[in-house]
């Protein structure tokens, strides 16, 4: 899903980049240390797993006179991708 790579900036300093896709959107973030990049990679991979398997309750039919039949269903993935 996501990868951490080392690269050299224009000013000659080495940095670490997290690169991958989340819900079809390309993510590229740069960090000074490999530890920071690895932590961000973990966060992004967890978000991707949550998007892939998100479950929520939804009514199976019209609710009337106290009848509340529910089932688990997955929500659309785009509803969970919001700017932070």
- pLDDT for 23 equals 85
Residue 83 has pLDDT above 80, yes or no: no
DSSP single-letter state for residue 61 = S
- pLDDT for 84 equals 43
Q: pLDDT category, 12, cuts 50, 70, 90?
A: very high
Q: What is the pLDDT of residues 64-80, one digit of tens each?
A: 555 555 554 555 544 44
Residue 41 has pLDDT above 60, yes or no: yes
Q: Where are the beta strands (DSSP E) in 23-74?
A: 25-31, 55-59, 70-74
Query: Do 51 and 81 touch, CB atoms closer than 8 A?
Result: yes
Fold annotation for 2-80: Double Stranded RNA Binding Domain (3.30.160)
Give this prediction's pTM: 0.62
């Amino acid at each position: 899903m996501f990868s951490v790579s080392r690269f050299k900036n224009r000013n000659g300093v080495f940095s670490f980049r997290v690169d991958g896709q989340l819900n079809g959107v390309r993510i590229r973030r740069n960090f000074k240390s490999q530890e920071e990049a690895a932590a961000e990679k973990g966060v992004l991979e967890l978000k991707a797993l949550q998007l892939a398997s998100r479950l929520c309750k939804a009514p199976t039919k019209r609710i009337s006179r106290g009848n509340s039949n529910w089932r688990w269903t997955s929500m659309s993935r785009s509803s969970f991708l919001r700017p932070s």
